[in-house]
């Protein structure tokens, strides 16, 4: 079956029945993923909310299918400058794999499912605009792997993060063995994976796993609110330049620095013909705030 943009929008709009600028225990009649674009001064920010309270946002078939659909919508939307990925389930970002589903699979089914899970996270990693993970609560196993697929991570002090798979007879299979050693020192990443250790948001910040840590508030939205603040800083900048910068970093960091310079040049030249580049220079000369249009 061919999934069209119109059919995806219809499904997501049916799910997004409430304005979701804050986390709420009262969200009802929505699917496992809620997608919402902010308006007004926050135009350009998209909110990607995990919402499977019964399973604690465990990564099962339904959640993954919804995530893949939302990934496709976001990728095609040139009006989105930054995405915030968070949870609508109090105390939980993502509890990792749905082991009840996993236990019923045979070996071949497990291998296929893990590949699908990894590819879904790669889709998030490869979204053209900056992404921010706001972690309020538990993010273990695949939950931390999901956060690691985002460009920026913000955690509440009380969050719990860890790659716990070796303690369950597994290894991180959705990119964790590759992303974590690229985020922090490989020796520290090895220790965290070998021990299945769970660390607090503060410890995660000290280790470099997250960019920012914030005290949790009474509504359990502290990480999300900080993420909105960072997103507001991002949306003041040129959308195409943001995408080009992300592409240059993501491609270049995997290469030698000399090859990385060529990637940077390619991305720079991609941005040269844009009206936004001209607007950026004019606004500086005219000493005014730039009005970027994304073209």
Which residue out of 46, 69, 141, 145 is catalytically annotated? 145
- Catalytic, 101? Answer no
Which residue out of 31, 60, 141, 142 is catalytically annotated? 142
H or E stretch at 117: helix 107-125
- Catalytic, 111? Answer no
CA-to-CA distance for 221 and 202, rounded, in angstroms? 16
Which residue out of 58, 97, 189, 241 is catalytically annotated? 97
> Which one-letter DSSP state was computed for residue 224?
H
220: number of Cβ within 10 Å: 19
Contact status, residue 152 vs residue 211, Cβ threshold 8 Å? yes
- Catalytic, 145? Answer yes
CA quadruple 145, 138, 134, 154: dihedral sign: negative
Contact status, residue 234 vs residue 82, Cβ threshold 8 Å? yes
Identify which of 165, 175, 160 has the alpha carbon closest to the alpha carbon of residue 92.
Answer: 160
Which residue out of 31, 133, 149, 165 is catalytically annotated? 165
Give the pairing of strands 82-87 and 45-50.
parallel
- Catalytic, 142? Answer yes
Which residues are marked as active site? 97, 142, 145, 165
């Amino acid at each position: 079956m061919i999934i069209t943009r119109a059919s995806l929008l219809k499904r997501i709009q049916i799910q997004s029945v409430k304005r979701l600028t804050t986390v709420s225990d009262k969200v009802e009649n929505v699917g496992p993923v809620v997608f919402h674009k902010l308006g007004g001064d926050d135009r350009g920010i998209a909110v990607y909310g995990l919402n499977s309270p019964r399973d604690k946002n465990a990564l099962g078939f339904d959640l993954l299918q919804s995530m893949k659909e939302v990934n496709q919508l976001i990728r095609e939307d040139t009006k989105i400058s930054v995405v915030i990925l968070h949870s609508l389930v109090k105390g939980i970002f993502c509890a990792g794999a749905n082991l009840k589903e996993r236990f019923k699979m045979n070996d071949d089914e497990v291998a296929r499912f893990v590949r699908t899970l990894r590819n879904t996270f790669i889709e998030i990693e490869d979204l053209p605009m900056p992404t921010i993970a706001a972690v309020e609560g538990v993010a273990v196993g695949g939950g931390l792997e999901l956060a690691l697929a985002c460009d920026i991570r913000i955690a509440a002090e009380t969050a719990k993060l860890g790659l716990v798979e070796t303690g369950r007879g597994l290894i991180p299979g959705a990119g964790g063995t590759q992303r974590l050693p690229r985020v922090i020192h490989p020796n520290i990443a090895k220790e965290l994976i070998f021990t299945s250790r769970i660390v607090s948001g503060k410890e995660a910040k000290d280790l470099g796993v997250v960019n920012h840590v914030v005290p949790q508030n009474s509504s359990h939205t502290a990480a999300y609110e900080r993420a909105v603040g960072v997103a507001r800083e991002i949306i003041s900048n040129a959308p195409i330049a943001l995408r080009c910068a992300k592409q240059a970093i993501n491609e270049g960091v995997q290469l030698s620095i000399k090859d990385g310079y060529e990637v940077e040049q390619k991305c720079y030249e991609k941005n040269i013909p844009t009206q936004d580049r001209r607007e950026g220079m004019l606004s500086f000369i005219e000493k005014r705030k730039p009005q970027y249009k994304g073209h």
